[in-house]
């Protein structure tokens, strides 16, 4: 096994956790769950499989919860891998890590991997572009930037390199679960876009210490935030589904691009519109409205 600790954030992930832990066992010496007091069988399954389970009250967003783990878990390995419960590494990526990691130079502190995204058990190849994410980093030299959405790992020192072998995001839940999850995400995404516009939490435009891929994605999001409400989500769907040939991949791809590329982003814009209708451009009123209506402290 490699000198890697895998950190997995969980809340009611019994549908995924066995697959995730079995995958992590193929390459990692230590597996930690940071569980937000699941009420299904997630914790029992993980403990029975030998994972070390720590529970912590949800820290408002994924970044805070992950950083709590970095700061509080008894991590002894040189490397840390952030892995979501519905994700896993391909065998090709695992073999590549086994080749490269033992001999990597000291100035390399992070590894970036392409993400393969599945929807309704179908790999979505076209329309969304290649997403490269930094997920493996030297312990003590990386943490998750604190954002409500679209958070990335930041390195405090050293360089990152890209490995062209993929890991996979493959959620097994049904569409009802997916839409409920994205309804919850939509207010977080709305806050993120409002933060870009009004600098609500003084972190929105920071790209320092991000990989070039994460910084490029962030800059695209900043440009997106400047486009008109509702029109931008429509354009984004047209761009993905037609211009980037998403329509060539069947019904699953249509549902993915429609739901994630248009419906979800329309919902985000609807919540931004609602907030601005009540608060205008007054940042204090916006923070108060978000607290009173969504129980989110900015």
- Residues 255 and 282: their CA atoms lie apart, in Å, by 37
206 or 51: which leads in pLDDT? 51
Residues 165 and 179 in one domain: no
Give the pLDDT band (50/70/90) at residue 93: very high
What would the mean pLDDT of 37-49 be, rounded to a whole number? 98
Please determine, for residue 178, whether its predicted confidence score (pLDDT) is greater than 60: yes
This prediction has a pTM of: 0.94
Residues 84 and 209 in one domain: no
pLDDT tens-digit readout, 194-243: 999 999 886 545 555 688 888 898 999 999 999 999 999 999 999 999 99
Amino acid 207: pLDDT = 57
pLDDT tens-digit readout, 267-291: 999 999 999 999 999 999 999 999 9
Give me the residues paired with residue 161 across strands.
Answer: 111
Of the candidates 150, 120, 136, 131, the one whose C-alpha atom is nearest the C-alpha of residue 252 is: 120
Q: Residue 117 is inside which H or E element, if any?
A: strand 108-119
Q: How many separate domains does the chain show? A: 2
**Residue whose structure tokens are 């999001």:** 221
pLDDT tens-digit readout, 94-130: 999 999 999 999 999 999 999 999 999 999 999 987 8
Last residue of a domain, one of 124, 148, 170: 170
Q: Which domain holds residue 251?
A: 175-294
Residues 38 and 144 in one domain: yes
Q: Determine how many CB atoms are found less than 10 A away from the CB of residue 130.
A: 11
Please determine, for residue 82, whether its predicted confidence score (pLDDT) is greater than 90: yes
Amino acid 201: pLDDT = 81
Q: What are phi and psi of 146, to 5 degrees?
A: -85, 105
Last residue of a domain, one of 151, 170, 189: 170
3-state secondary structure of 190: helix
- Mean pLDDT, the chain, integer: 95
Amino acid 208: pLDDT = 59
Half-sphere exposure of 97 (CA within 13 A, CB side): 27
Of the candidates 113, 119, 227, the one whose C-alpha atom is nearest the C-alpha of residue 165 is: 113
Q: Looking at residue 32, which CATH number applies to its domain?
A: 3.90.550.10
Amino acid 204: pLDDT = 47
For 202-249, give the DSSP string.
Answer: S-TT--TT--HHHHHHHHHHHHHHTSPTTHHHHHHHHIIIIIT-GGGG
Residues 42 and 81 in one domain: yes
Please determine, for residue 258, whether its predicted confidence score (pLDDT) is greater than 70: yes
Assess contact for 17 and 43: CB atoms under 8 A. Answer: no
- pLDDT above 90 as % of the chain: 88
Q: Strands 167-170, 87-89: parallel, antiparallel or unpaired by DSSP? A: antiparallel
Residues 35 and 145 in one domain: yes
What would the mean pLDDT of 67-94 be, rounded to a whole number? 98
Give the pLDDT band (50/70/90) at residue 298: confident
Angle at 106 between CA 9 and CA 160, to 5 degrees: 55
Last residue of a domain, one of 155, 170, 185: 170
Residues 107 and 165 in one domain: yes
Residues 77 and 166 in one domain: yes
Residues 257 and 290 in one domain: yes
Q: Strands 79-82, 52-55: parallel, antiparallel or unpaired by DSSP? A: unpaired
Amino acid 244: pLDDT = 95
């Amino acid at each position: 096994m490699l000198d890697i600790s895998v950190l997995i954030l969980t809340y009611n992930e019994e549908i995924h956790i066995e697959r995730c832990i079995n995958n992590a066992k193929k390459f990692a010496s230590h597996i930690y769950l940071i569980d937000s007091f699941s009420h299904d069988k997630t914790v029992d399954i993980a403990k029975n499989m030998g994972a070390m389970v720590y529970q912590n009250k949800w820290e408002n967003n994924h970044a805070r919860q992950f950083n709590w783990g970095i700061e509080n878990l008894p991590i002894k390995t040189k490397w840390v891998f952030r892995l979501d419960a519905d994700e896993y590494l391909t065998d090709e990526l695992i073999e590549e890590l086994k080749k490269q990691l033992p001999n990597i130079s000291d100035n390399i502190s992070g590894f970036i991997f392409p993400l393969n995204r599945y929807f309704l058990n179908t790999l979505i190849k076209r329309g969304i572009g290649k997403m490269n994410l930094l997920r493996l980093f030297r312990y003590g030299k990386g943490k998750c930037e604190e954002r409500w959405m679209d958070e990335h790992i930041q390195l405090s020192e050293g360089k990152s390199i890209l490995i062209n072998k993929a890991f996979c995001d493959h959620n097994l839940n049904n569409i009802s679960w997916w839409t409920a999850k994205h309804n919850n995400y939509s207010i977080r995404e709305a806050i993120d876009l409002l933060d870009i516009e009004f600098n609500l939490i003084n972190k929105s435009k920071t790209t320092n210490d991000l990989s070039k891929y994460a910084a490029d994605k962030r800059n695209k999001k900043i440009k997106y935030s400047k486009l008109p409400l509702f029109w931008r989500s429509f354009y984004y769907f047209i761009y993905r589904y037609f211009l980037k040939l998403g329509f060539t991949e069947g019904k699953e791809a249509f549902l993915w691009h429609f739901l994630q590329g248009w419906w979800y982003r329309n919902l985000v814009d609807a919540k931004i519109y609602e907030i601005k209708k009540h608060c205008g451009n007054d940042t204090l009123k916006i923070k108060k409205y978000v607290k009173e209506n969504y129980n989110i402290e900015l």
